[in-house]
Chains A and B, each alone.
Chain A
């Protein structure tokens, strides 16, 4: 191609790109009124579900949702996979049914089991319309070709059929059932926590086989990296009982605790990529829900 034709080629390319993504060519955002309702809802649910912090790398320039984030666990290190619609390395070849099966049953399109580092134990409770909205939004994400990094697991965890045993012991797919005796705000908080934000996954101690210890849901745990996910039941001594609702709301928004200290590490990520995007009313619903729980006196044991 002659040198003089470059500007024409560039202009044509720009035109094609603009037509492809819809003028003037930006990914939908909360401020984007042109995005359809399910797409906007799906983007919100992506934040409420805490998907971004595992499915986007930690680097500043990490491509959005293209995977790569390391997730420490007692079984080794998992790497969040690419969930952009790239057909080769992402979920571009999936159907909506595949997506629903992954979220609700923890199985990939070929039928094999996902490790529960992917919190399908929580997502199985998502309402069908929310699964559909999340799927609609993911279709609009910029496809990124990036191979998934293989997990680095201990020998005993590498045997994938073993996950079937884990699921048999600890996983019961179930729909979210609102509590008819509670008000809408409480039910919204319960739904956000138990079907999307998956707070219990880190904030609960686990049995030797990796299930949440009965009676200690949300009562705090030490995470694989050594950090503490504190007790978030309203126990005054060991939990969040001494925090006011205002403090809790502010923590989920800004990450600031009552002492003016700021969250870091894993919870910093959860706030930056998730809860800070929620509406005030959803943050309030979460707070109402957590403050209503039975207080559990449970001190997270010191590190080994």
Chain B
């Protein structure tokens, strides 16, 4: 036990020193901040797709998981809260389908992202108040249309 505490203390002291010396970042030295951002946003977009897919299975096709719907729509709300933040300048390289128009027309990108989030909020609120599938369908459609509207202008099809 004492040995574990000592080890923990050593880790703490080491970390504090590393922080103090400005060595708290990853150990590798090349700058891959933008690459990590691309990884993160692609994961988030895949997760959004997964939650949209599950939502469609429940709302459109009647899969018997109505109780899980809140989990999915809450994620869609949270993940779409600030989409432009996922696309900082300089994150347009490598395996990305992001089009340059994101950075050339940021106002339009922000507008479409906001509409997407608002549609997600409207769907989530309807789920919260217990609306049935027929009432949820147009709201789900709105979310889908807002995803598509943004992809039409800002994503490559490849």
Kindly state whether residue A264 has any CB partner on chain B within 8 Å. yes
| Residue of B45, B46, B152 ringed by the most chain A CB atoms within 10 A | B152
A265/B50 contact (C-beta < 8 A), A227-B156, A256-B144 known: no
Of the 9-residue stretches B51-59, B82-90, B119-127, which lies at the interface with chain A? B51-59
Kindly state whether residue B158 has any CB partner on chain A within 8 Å. yes
A246: min CB distance to chain B, Å: 7
Whether A250 contacts B60 by the Cβ 8 Å rule is yes
Contact pattern, A 238-278, Cβ under 8 Å of B = 1, otherwise 0: 00000000100010001110111111111111011000000
* B53 partner residues in chain A, CB cutoff 8 A: 256, 258-260
Kindly state whether residue B49 has any CB partner on chain A within 8 Å. yes
CB nearest neighbor in A for B54: A260
Whether B144 contacts A262 by the Cβ 8 Å rule is yes
* A254 partner residues in chain B, CB cutoff 8 A: 56, 141, 144-145, 148
Whether B56 contacts A260 by the Cβ 8 Å rule is yes
* B60 partner residues in chain A, CB cutoff 8 A: 250
B7: min CB distance to chain A, Å: 44
Whether B156 contacts A272 by the Cβ 8 Å rule is no
B150: min CB distance to chain A, Å: 8
Kindly state whether residue B66 has any CB partner on chain A within 8 Å. no
A263/B56 contact (C-beta < 8 A), A226-B156, A227-B157, A228-B157 known: no
Tell me which residues from 16 to 55 in chain B have a Cβ below 8 Å from any Cβ of chain A. Answer: 45-46, 48-54
Residue tally, chain A, CB below 8 Å to B:
22
B15: min CB distance to chain A, Å: 40
Whether A265 contacts B144 by the Cβ 8 Å rule is no
Whether B51 contacts A264 by the Cβ 8 Å rule is no
A278: min CB distance to chain B, Å: 15
Contact of A264 among B50, B61, B145, B148 (CB under 8 A): B148
Kindly state whether residue B103 has any CB partner on chain A within 8 Å. no
* A265 partner residues in chain B, CB cutoff 8 A: 151-152, 155-157
Whether A250 contacts B56 by the Cβ 8 Å rule is yes
Kindly state whether residue B147 has any CB partner on chain A within 8 Å. yes
Kindly state whether residue B109 has any CB partner on chain A within 8 Å. no
CB nearest neighbor in B for A256: B144
Report the separation of the CA atoms of residues A250 and B61 in the bound assembly, to the nearest whole angstrom: 10
* B46 partner residues in chain A, CB cutoff 8 A: 259
Contact pattern, A 124-140, Cβ under 8 Å of B = 1, otherwise 0: 00000000000000000
CB nearest neighbor in A for B158: A228
Contact pattern, B 122-158, Cβ under 8 Å of A = 1, otherwise 0: 0000000000000000000100110111111111111
A268/B148 contact (C-beta < 8 A), A226-B156, A227-B158, A250-B60 known: yes
CB nearest neighbor in A for B47: A260
Q: A263-B157, A264-B154, A272-B149 are in contact. List 12 more A-B contacts (CB 8 A).
A: A226-B156, A226-B158, A227-B156, A227-B158, A228-B157, A260-B48, A260-B51, A262-B148, A263-B151, A264-B148, A265-B152, A271-B148
Binding site for A on B (CB under 8 A): 45-46, 48-54, 56, 60-61, 141, 144-145, 147-158
